[in-house]
Structure 1
Amino acid sequence: MKKTGTLWIAIIAMAIVSCKDSGPKKRFLPPSTGGINSLMVVMDTELWKGGIGDKIREHFAAPVLGLPQGEPKFSITQIPPQVFKGATAYSRSVLYVEQDSTSLAHIKTNVYAKPQKVAVVKGETYNDLAGNLDSIAGMAIAAFKKVEIGEAQKRFTRSLTKETAFKDEFGINLKIPSLYKLGKHEKNFVWMDIQIPKGTMNILAYEMPWDSFSTDSTFVKDIIKMRDSIGKKYVPGPYDGTYMITEKAFAPYVFPAQIGGKKAAEARGIWEIQGYPMAGPFITYIINDKEHDRKLVLEGFTFAPSEEKRDYMFELEAILKTITFEEGP
């Protein structure tokens, strides 16, 4: 009887294991592909050539704010639906537009590859499609940008600098590629940069008193005043008496932001050199670091004359968004 009991126990155990094995298996997804800030638009070519294509370009190829020349938010490749299969479907950011009796607009995650965002827009008439595109464009752009930022960070974090100046001076950590070098470290100021084919990409940080910006009505003017004073003190131009300021002709664009788990303001605009013909784009984050009773300022700026600058600035944004704060006072 003992042998029979042991046999039944073994059979039951095997049945339990078998049931576990027969459950749904996790689907394998290949890694997504594509250049940074590339967008695959899947739609009928005739639609692409008409008003719906114009609507897509209006949203997804709109100029990036804060660049000297007009550069689109995304580099778009359009293909018809019958071509969207196999490796083509592994694109990281996809906009799928279809004329259909169903009217919808939604965003899916990791459909054909990982990481991936697929925005799906359907509608029967032009008005249906155009309305659905308008309704989802903002969310789709944000979703695409988030996945592109993640991909950019994944690429440059393979080899990071061991430089600790930002940590030593401000108690922060940034994931910065190893090719960036320390250019200047003074009290309340750190500057790192990297040589690029026709110029430089730069990252700097400093802090301001918590009450530096008194009112919303003067916020933009106060940002310009802050940047200009820091530029005069720490960022010299090529000749004596020249230094970096905010371009006088156009005020920077300013938006609310969240970075490093803290509320912040994001400013985008053009810098120039006082007294010398040099200029380029900048992105500045003014972070509300209440725990340390300060406004922490991070900035990335590029000098690359006659070159497209979108992807340079995108990399700097991706680097700045890796910020973490050391615990403690």
Structure 2
Amino acid sequence: MKKLVLFILAACFTMACTKDKNGAQVDVDGSGKAKAKNDMYLPDATGEPGEIVIVMNKRKYDGELGDAIKEVFREPVPGLTRTEPMFTIRVIEPFDFNRIFQLSRNLVYVVSLEGNSAADKWLQGTFGEDSKQAILSDPSRFMQTSDNQYAKGQKVLQLFGKDDKTLINNLLENAEVVQNFFNIAEKQRLADDLRMSTASKAILNRVNDQLGVSIKIPANYELAMLEDDFMWARYLPAVGPSKNLFVYTKDYKSQEEFDHENIIKLRDEIGHKYIYGDPDNPESFMITENVYMKPVFRNINFRDKYTVEMKGAWKTNNFSVGGTFVSYTFVDEAKGKLYYIEGFVIYPNEDHRELIREMESLLTTFQTS
């Protein structure tokens, strides 16, 4: 099913966004009439990180279709110490979809060909007759994507079905595909916005010389520690969240090192050896919370390498401080090295969703020399 969805994303792109002969973007206005726009004249997209504006019939949002939308977009983020939805959603009726909402960084249109209300007809009007026939003839089609419909840096997703039930089923069966579209977009925005300073570039050069690796170190980060097998960079503001990034490497021995319990064990060994909770107390060190909250694991492909992602909570052994983290464990077979890279944050009693997303975007910049 996922291969089919990826094919649909590519095949249906032109249904959501086409180009006129001058290269301008063409979109529809709810009546099926095309309007041409050129990206260079568009304003920048607005909105908070992780925020999505959903345009749909609000009566349907209060029913089963809305329940499916909430299940997909408001699914709790795994590995956080407090419950936070994956995205913050704002649901807008088509006739309230004014200029303010049109400039949103993330837009979703929810279109069912079932229904005759004014809102339904407006949404159905975003498709031409040929597209409607394609939806009716192939129930497996349910989503298409485009960029920059009303603003630069904007991501647009159209969710559609021949009727509410078909759309609901496709949504729930492919929730991860839908979520990933915006998760990837948000991480890319963060990566694009991260800036390195002369000082952080100097840190990176030292890390590269010592460990033979490269990872983006943002401005205002300081180098806390650099050893033959370990690097720790951190941002410690007077007020606000503390952000930390570390890299550890060792000789790769066996596949068993990817077992979940062994990854936790490795993390705790690194924390005990290198990451202190209090510089004035050598007996204070980082450990993984594994009693009240278990880490969450996921297998991913990172730079064409089998990788185990781990998310969870951490604390110091004397309970003086704690927070959340995300890590990748993988092997560079050419070098025979196992790498454990992690971003962790300290921000008591505050939301961590976007902080962890930022840490993920930093981890994705890692490369071996």
Instruction: Work out whether the TM-score is over 0.5.
Output: yes
Task: Pick from 257, 266, 271 the counterpart of residue 309 of structure 2.
Answer: 266
| CA gap 1:109/1:124 in 2 versus in 1, 3 angstroms | closer
Task: In structure 1, give the amino acid aligned to 2:233.
Answer: M
Task: Pick from 220, 238, 249 the counterpart of residue 207 of structure 1.
Answer: 249
The answer to whether the 8 Å contact 1:195/1:201 transfers is yes
**Paired residue total:** 302
Q: Does 1:315 align with 2:358?
A: yes
Q: Distance in 2 between matches of 1:158 and 1:109?
A: 30
In structure 2, the partner of 1:26 is 23
Q: CA RMSD in A?
A: 2.2
Q: Distance in 2 between matches of 1:91 and 1:325?
A: 37
The answer to whether the 8 Å contact 2:248/2:341 transfers is yes
In structure 2, the partner of 1:246 is 288
Q: After TM superposition, give the deviation of residue 111 of structure 1 in Å.
A: 5.2
In structure 2, the partner of 1:295 is 338
Q: Cα deviations across residues 21-45 of structure 1 (Å, max 9, x unaligned)?
A: xx91111123433222111111112
The answer to whether the 8 Å contact 2:147/2:154 transfers is yes
3-state DSSP of counterpart to 2:236: strand
| CA gap 1:111/1:304 in 2 versus in 1, 3 angstroms | closer
In structure 1, the partner of 2:92 is 79
Q: After TM superposition, give the deviation of residue 117 of structure 1 in Å.
A: 3.2
In structure 2, the partner of 1:229 is 269
- TM-score, L = length of structure 1: 0.84
Q: After TM superposition, give the deviation of residue 199 of structure 1 in Å.
A: 4.3
Task: Pick from 214, 217, 226 the counterpart of residue 176 of structure 1.
Answer: 217
| CA gap 1:142/1:303 in 2 versus in 1, 3 angstroms | same
3-state DSSP of counterpart to 1:242: strand
3-state DSSP of counterpart to 1:276: coil
Rg (Cα) greater in structure = 1
Q: After TM superposition, give the deviation of residue 261 of structure 1 in Å.
A: 4.1
Identity %: 28
Task: In structure 2, give the amino acid aligned to 1:68.
Answer: T
In structure 1, the partner of 2:145 is 108
| CA gap 1:182/1:138 in 2 versus in 1, 3 angstroms | same
Moved more, 237-246 or 282-291: 237-246
3-state DSSP of counterpart to 1:25: coil
In structure 2, the partner of 1:18 is none
Q: Distance in 1 between matches of 2:192 and 2:96?
A: 29
Counterparts in 2 of 1:133-144, with a 5 A limit? 133-144=171-182
3-state DSSP of counterpart to 1:121: strand
3-state DSSP of counterpart to 1:64: coil
Moved more, 35-44 or 67-76: 35-44
3-state DSSP of counterpart to 1:67: coil
Q: Does 1:153 align with 2:191?
A: yes
Q: Distance in 1 between matches of 2:309 and 2:235?
A: 23
Q: After TM superposition, give the deviation of residue 298 of structure 1 in Å.
A: 0.8
Unaligned residue ranges in structure 1 (runs of 5+): 1-22
The answer to whether the 8 Å contact 1:149/1:318 transfers is yes
Task: In structure 1, give the amino acid aligned to 2:266.
Answer: M
In structure 2, the partner of 1:121 is 159
